[in-house]
């Protein structure tokens, strides 16, 4: 396995003066291509903060962040947007999908936004992904009408659309019932096994963590594991 | 770009009622814009047609010669040489030479050489003061459309004929075909037959004007050659200010544009046009504020989605285009609907040409609705209105927008 991403001495503070909160106090973390890792830690420990920094949605206060050999600490907003589009997929807990669009339209978005239109090739891949997520019947469904579990599976499909090296999932099963959560996790594990996509999944669920090869724990502003 | 427009279209169709309301609001603004354009334009034309339409657009007037002072003025008395024959020296000679010159200028549609003066009209014991206009036969309708105003008889001026206004004939109990005695200020008399009675609809000419042939006027005013005035009609009366100096340069005569005499009329028309501009500007402003506030609300409501799009690799520019396109589409649709509604409503009005004074309604000119301008301005306005919300959307921090 080769190094996919690396962070060193990562510090993130919010606010300043008396209101200053040091959430991350010098995190060192490296991930290899093909890993399936769980991100654990108590509420408020900084899991989401770390994920958004790794996802280039937020700049760290200090420290180094690189992925695929690219230094992301100093990159411009435009370069980060492009990098994100090509190399990183996201699954969030809430507000994942564009409610006025169908499942397929949501899935092809990352490709369409890059190519400027929805190509036939993109649609074909989107359909394949939705079929793989067990949503063959829901391809042209408006996402507003999907169940919570179905929505998260559409979100996973969309995260995979541009064949990213890394998928960051912030409590993807956080508001799903056991059965739906297990279904989503099985699909993630399957993709990880078949395609070698690297996943980092934050969760409070020990069962989900147990499904991952690696457990990374955030605590006291530092990372272990 | 195309994809951003697709997203914009979906956003608009997703909240149909809101979009419909917004488009309706814009359409009302456009309707007001078009209605005002048609009304102000129609009014201006109506007023111009009523007043300036019968006016000469450029006038060349013979300079009046000051009567010669006969004896040194003392404190009590001034003696002037008021010899009629010498006044004819003030006439415009050589008309034959420069009239074809003037008529060959582009924009000139006709000239009317005239001999004007004053005199008295007598029938039995009745005497009325009139101003006498000597017109060249065949050019009676070049300036004021005399032929169009004739109610009895003909506008054609023959030797020994006179055209009188309807009010004058009523006041003096005159009928077509009767003979009247005309005495000029030179004391020369002529017996003339009423060959036509006209009604212009305005008091002055209908009561105080007598039209005779140029030949008759020559006799009456002892003017064997030349004329006292040349009136010029233009295809576009607004070119008068540019053409008058050219005529002056060409002929050396003092050609005056109608605007010099009709400054008040022009001012009134300008004030009216300005009122129209202000109303139209307010209509546009309303559109802009409406679109801006609606889109601002929309960007706020769609914050999480904007965050998602940004996380998925949509750039700031893309988000910007999504919201600006919404503004453009709203403006375009509102513009089209408003223009269509405006045209439809204006069709129901009688139209400027059939509008007569004293009639109910408005002298609306449907052709002056400025439909294209309204649509273009509205679309541009809506685009301008969307820039602020679009920028706010594009600058959203994706993390706070997603609000995880
Ligand atoms: N924008 C912000 N401004 C100020 N403080 C913030 C901000 N974002 C996060 N924090 C703080 O940083 C800390 C870490 O937050 P974070 O969301 O990363 O925790 P988490 O581990 O994801 O928690 P949870 O398990 O509840 O999701 C919290 O104390 C939070 O209040
Ligand atoms: Mg969190």
DSSP strand E in B136-213: where?
150-153, 161-165, 179-184, 189-198, 209-213
Contacts of residue A189, defined as CB under 8 A and 6 or more positions apart, other chains included, come to A36, A211
pLDDT of residue B69: 47
Q: What is the pLDDT of residues A139-166, one digit of tens each?
A: 999 999 999 999 999 999 999 999 999 9
pLDDT of residue B325: 96
Cβ-Cβ pairs closer than 8 A, A with B, add up to 76
A102 chain-B contacts, CB cut-off 8 A: none
Do the chains contact at B308 and A98, CB–CB below 8 Å? Answer: yes
Interface probe for B, chosen from A113, A117, A163, A167 (most Cβ of B below 10 Å), is: A113
Do the Cβ atoms of B222 and B85 come closer than 8 Å? yes
Q: Which of A18, A21, A61 to mutate to test the pocket of ligand 1 (most atoms within 8 A of CB)?
A: A21
pLDDT of residue B333: 95
Closest Cβ opposite residue B404 in set A85, A115, A170: A170
Q: Is the pLDDT of residue A89 over 90?
A: yes
**Ligand 1 atom at minimal distance to the Cα of residue B400:** 1
Do the chains contact at A57 and B305, CB–CB below 8 Å? Answer: no
Give the 3-state secondary structure of chain A: CCEEEEEEEEEEEECCHHHCEEEEEEEEEEEECCCEEEEECCCCCCHHHHHHHHCCCCCCCEEEEEECCEECCCCCHHHHHHHHHHHEEEECCCCCCCCCCEHHHHHHHHHHHHHCCCCHHHHHHHHHHHHHCCCHHHCCCEHHHCCHHHHHHHHHHHHHCCCCCEEEEECCCCCCCHHHHHHHHHHHHHHHHHHCCEEEEECCCHHHHHHCCEEEEEECCEEEC
Q: How far apart are CA A107 and CA A98, in angstroms?
A: 10
pLDDT of residue B321: 96
Kindly report the pTM of this predicted structure: 0.75
Q: Give the Å distance between the CA of A46 and the centre of ligand 1.
A: 5
pLDDT of residue B89: 40
Q: How far apart are CA A205 and CA A186, in angstroms?
A: 14
Q: How far apart are CA A134 and CA A184, in angstroms?
A: 10
Q: Over pLDDT 70: what percentage of chain A?
A: 99
B316 chain-A contacts, CB cut-off 8 A: 77, 81
* Tokens standing for residue A144: 């507003």
**In this complex, is the C-beta atom of A109 within 8 Å of any C-beta atom belonging to chain B?**
yes
Q: How far apart are CA A198 and CA A4, in angstroms?
A: 9
Residue ranges per structural domain of chain B:
2-51+265-403, 58-258
pLDDT of residue B223: 86
Closest Cβ opposite residue A113 in set B10, B312, B402: B312
Do the chains contact at A97 and B308, CB–CB below 8 Å? Answer: yes
Q: How far apart are CA B56 and CA A221, in angstroms?
A: 92
Give every strand in the sheet of A166-170, ordered side by side. Answer: A88-91, A166-170, A198-202, A36-40, A214-219, A222-224
Q: Which of A11, A39, A44, A94 to mutate to test the pocket of ligand 1 (most atoms within 8 A of CB)?
A: A44
Q: Which of A47, A173, A201 to mutate to test the pocket of ligand 1 (most atoms within 8 A of CB)?
A: A47
B9 chain-A contacts, CB cut-off 8 A: none
**In this complex, is the C-beta atom of A15 within 8 Å of any C-beta atom belonging to chain B?**
no
* Tokens standing for residue B339: 């223009």
Q: Which residue of B has its CA nearest to A171?
A: B404
User: Rounded to whole angstroms, what are the CA distances from A210 to A188, A199, A207, A217?
Assistant: 14, 14, 5, 13
**In this complex, is the C-beta atom of A194 within 8 Å of any C-beta atom belonging to chain B?**
no
| For the CA of A46, the nearest ligand | 1
Q: How far apart are CA B94 and CA B78, in angstroms?
A: 35
Do the chains contact at A118 and B307, CB–CB below 8 Å? Answer: no
Q: Give the Å distance between the CA of A218 and the centre of ligand 2.
A: 11
Q: Give the Å distance between the CA of A202 and the centre of ligand 2.
A: 8
Q: How far apart are CA B260 and CA B53, in angstroms?
A: 16
pLDDT of residue A32: 95
| For the CA of A27, the nearest ligand | 1
Which residue ranges of chain B lie beneath pLDDT 70?
A: 52-53, 64-91, 202-203, 351-361, 404
**Ligand 1 atom at minimal distance to the Cα of residue A49:** 18
Q: Which helix (H) or strand (E) holds B118?
A: strand B108-123
Do the Cβ atoms of B25 and B19 come closer than 8 Å? no
Compute the nearest-CA separation of A72 from chain B (Å): 15
Q: Pick the residue whose CA is nearest to atom 12 on ligand 1.
A: A23
């Amino acid at each position: 396995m080769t190094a996919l991403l690396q962070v060193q001495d990562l510090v993130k503070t919010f606010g300043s003066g008396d209101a200053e909160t040091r959430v991350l106090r010098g995190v060192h973390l490296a991930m290899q291509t093909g890993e399936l890792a769980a991100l654990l830690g108590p509420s408020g420990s900084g899991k989401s903060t770390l994920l958004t920094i790794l996802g280039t949605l937020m700049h760290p206060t200090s420290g180094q962040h690189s992925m695929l050999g690219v230094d992301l600490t100093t990159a411009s907003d435009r370069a980060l947007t492009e990098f994100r589009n090509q190399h990183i997929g996201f699954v969030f807990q809430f507000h994942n999908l564009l409610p006025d669009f169908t499942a397929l339209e949501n899935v092809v978005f990352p490709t369409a936004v890059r190519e400027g239109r929805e190509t036939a090739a993109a649609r074909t891949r989107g359909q394949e992904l939705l079929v793989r997520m067990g949503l063959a019947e829901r391809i042209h469904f408006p996402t507003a009408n999907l169940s919570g579990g179905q929505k998260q599976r559409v979100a996973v499909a969309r995260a995979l659309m541009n064949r990213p090296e890394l998928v960051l999932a912030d409590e993807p099963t956080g508001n799903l019932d056991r059965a739906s959560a297990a279904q989503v996790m099985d699909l993630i594990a399957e993709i990880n096994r078949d395609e070698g996509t690297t996943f980092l999944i934050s969760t409070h669920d020990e069962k989900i963590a147990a499904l991952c090869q690696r457990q990374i724990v955030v605590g006291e502003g530092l990372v272990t594991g | 770009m195309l994809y951003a427009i697709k997203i914009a279209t979906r956003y608009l169709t997703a909240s149909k009622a809101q979009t419909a309301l917004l488009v309706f609001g814009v359409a009302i603004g456009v309707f007001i814009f078009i209605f005002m354009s048609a009304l102000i334009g129609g009014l201006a034309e109506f007023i111009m047609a009523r007043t300036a339409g019968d006016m000469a657009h450029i006038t060349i007037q013979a300079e009046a010669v000051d009567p010669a002072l006969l004896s040194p003025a003392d404190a009590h008395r001034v003696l002037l040489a008021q010899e009629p024959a010498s006044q004819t020296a003030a006439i415009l000679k050589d008309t034959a030479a420069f009239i074809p010159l003037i008529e060959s200028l582009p924009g000139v549609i006709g000239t009317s050489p005239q001999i004007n003066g004053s005199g008295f009209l007598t029938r039995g014991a009745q005497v009325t003061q009139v101003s006498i206009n000597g017109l060249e036969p065949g050019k009676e309708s070049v300036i004021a459309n005399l032929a169009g105003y004739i109610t009895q008889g003909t506008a054609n001026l023959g030797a020994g004929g006179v055209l009188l206004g309807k009010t004058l004939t009523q006041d003096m109990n005159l009928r077509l075909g009767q003979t009247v005695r005309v005495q000029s200020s030179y004391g020369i008399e002529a017996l003339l037959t009423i060959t036509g009675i006209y009604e212009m609809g305005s008091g002055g000419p209908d009561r105080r004007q007598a039209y005779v042939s140029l030949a008759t006027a020559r006799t009456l005013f002892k003017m064997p050659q030349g004329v006292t005035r040349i009136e010029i009609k233009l295809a576009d009366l607004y070119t008068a200010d540019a053409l008058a100096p050219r005529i002056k340069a060409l002929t050396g005569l003092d050609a005056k544009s109608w605007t010099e005499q009709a400054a008040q009329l022009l001012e009134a028309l300008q004030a009216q046009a300005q009122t129209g501009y202000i109303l139209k500007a307010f209509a546009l402003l309303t559109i802009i504020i409406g679109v801006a506030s609606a889109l601002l609300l929309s960007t706020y409501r769609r914050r999480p989605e904007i965050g998602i799009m940004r996380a998925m690799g949509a750039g700031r520019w893309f988000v910007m285009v999504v919201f600006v396109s919404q503004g453009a589409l709203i403006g375009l649709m509102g513009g089209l609907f408003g223009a269509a509604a405006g045209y439809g409503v204006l069709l129901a009005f009688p139209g400027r040409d059939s509008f007569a004074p004293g009639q109910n309604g408005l002298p609306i000119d449907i052709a002056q609705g400025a439909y294209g301008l309204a649509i273009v301005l509205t679309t541009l306005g809506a685009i301008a209105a969307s820039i602020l919300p679009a920028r706010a959307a594009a600058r959203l921090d994706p993390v706070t927008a997603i609000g995880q």
